[in-house]
Amino acid sequence: MIDLDDLTIHQRLDPGGMLAQLKGLPQQCHAAWNKALQFKLPTEYRDADKVVILGMGGSAIGGDLLRSLTHRLNRPLVFVLRDYDLPPFVDNRTLVIASSYSGNTEETLSAFSQALNTRCHKLALTTGGKLREMAERAGVPVFTIDHVSPPRAALGYSLMPLIAFFQQLGFFEDKSAEVAEMLKTLEELLSKWNEAAPTDSNLAKQLTRSLHGKIVVIYGAGILSEVAHRWKTQINENSKAWAFFETLPELDHNAVVGYELPSELASNIFVVLLRSSHVHPRTLVRYEVTAELLKQNGISHQFVDAYGESEFAHMMGLIYLGDWVSYYLALLYQVDPTPVRVIDYLKKRLSEAN
């Protein structure tokens, strides 16, 4: 098996440079936050009572995480749309934010073109492409992403500007202290999980060893529901491996019944339970009972507790762990984590079907 403590493997197995992207996430978040604080939105956007974030894949995850952070807000209601058609409830008190790293995501372009025919407030986040052209032609503000990476590695630019914009529009109170604590947490975790930190003291490497050769299932709850989602997609894209996610307490009403069959799968599954003290106390009890059921059915599992103090730090710290695990898992499978050739094939076939 690949030795994750062998520093020569990164040059050989990571020619796309995903390691550099991982190590740069704290600085990326800091840069995106500062840039977004300087970006001024029209004052009339403050009257929005609904926000619809258009996006797919790595460009949509920022919207998912933002929605998790708005669970205590009276307004606005936040929706994330991963599809071609704009919801019918979009009106003049809706802010539609189109998020597409490339600017050429066809589902996002379709929904955004429909938004242009409504009286809703509009905003685009992109590096360029057709989205930038459409927005500028319509006089829609464009926040330019100036970070070069695969979309999934541009999390700082898909999330931090949204938080800054919500603060600017008065939907959030000042988030500066929480952002500072989150960034400090990421820097501390970088020193614990980077490639030079040995396996015997590196949780990311240890967990990766447990997941190697398994079907990975990630459980999360509350503010960690979309964190579990992020783990799933990162393992899919970086590790080129099967992964799924479920959320508590819902999974206790169905998924637990399916632990029994087919019985031969039990030894091939590993469940990661992401846990935070910010989750509802009754749900924390459910974590323990669910783990008992996994054990009774011979299914390997492990709790992973959040880092930091705030909800934001808990979310981002566990996201960072999942990113590192997906990277190390790619190395164990001896695949380059950066390319997503299957998605490239899908896009090619779809373009031929036009």
| 127 and 223 housed in the same domain | no
Structural domain includes residue 9: no
Residues 334 and 13 sit within 8 Å (Cβ to Cβ): yes
In tens, the pLDDT along 47-94 reads 999 999 999 999 999 999 999 999 888 899 999 999 999 999 999 999
Pick from 144, 174, 204: which residue ends a domain? Answer: 174
The active-site residue out of 237, 240, 246, 278 is 237
Indicate yes or no: pTM above 0.85: yes
Orientation of helix 106-115 relative to helix 129-137, angle to 10°: 10
Active site residue 237: yes
Has 347 been annotated as catalytic?
yes
Which residues contact residue 23 at a Cβ distance below 8 angstroms, ignoring those fewer than 6 apart? 190, 194
**Pair (88, 58) in one structural domain:** yes
Each residue's pLDDT tens digit, 146-157: 999 999 999 999
Give the end of a domain, one of 142, 174, 206: 174
Q: Count CA atoms within 13 Å of residue 16 on its CB side.
A: 17
| Options 10, 192, 214, 347, the catalytic residue | 347
CB 322 within 8 A of CB 4: no
Domain identity same for 70 and 154: yes
Is residue 49 assigned to a domain? yes
Share of the chain above pLDDT 70, in %: 100
Closest CA to 189 of 70, 301, 304, 17: 304
CATH number of the domain enclosing 154: 3.40.50.10490
pLDDT in tens, 109-150: 999 999 999 999 999 999 999 999 999 999 999 999 999 999
Same domain? For 208 and 242 the reply is: yes
- The pLDDT, as a whole number, for residue 317 is 98
Residues 62, 123: one domain? Answer: yes
Per-chain mean pLDDT for the chain: 97
Shared domain check, 209 and 166? no
195 is catalytic: no
Among the options 40, 253, 264, 352, which is catalytic?
253
Q: Are residues 62 and 141 in the same domain?
A: yes
Residue 354 scores a pLDDT above 80: no
Which domain, by its residues, includes 228? 196-332
Q: 219 and 311: one domain?
A: yes
In a domain, 111, yes or no: yes
Q: Using one digit for the tens of pLDDT, what is the confidence trace for 197-211?
A: 999 999 999 999 999
Does 157 share its domain with 71? yes
Is 242 among the domain residues?
A: yes
Would you say residue 131 lies in a domain?
A: yes
Domain-embedded: residue 5? no
- Residue 281, burial from CB neighbour count under 10 angstroms (0-12, 13-18, 19+): exposed
162 & 27 share domain? yes
Q: Are residues 118 and 249 in the same domain?
A: no
* Contacting residues for 320 by C-beta, under 8 A, at least 6 apart: 25, 186, 189, 190, 193
pLDDT, tens digit, for every residue of 212-238? 999 999 999 999 999 999 999 999 999
Number of domain units in the chain: 2
pLDDT at 1 over 90: no
Q: Are residues 212 and 292 in the same domain?
A: yes
Residue 103 inside a domain? The answer is yes
Strands (E) located in 94-176: 94-100, 121-126, 142-144
* 180 lies in some domain: no
Burial 3-21 (b: 16+ CB within 10 A, else e): ebeeeebbeebbeebbbeb
Look at residues 141, 174, 207 and tell me which one is the last residue of a structural domain: 174
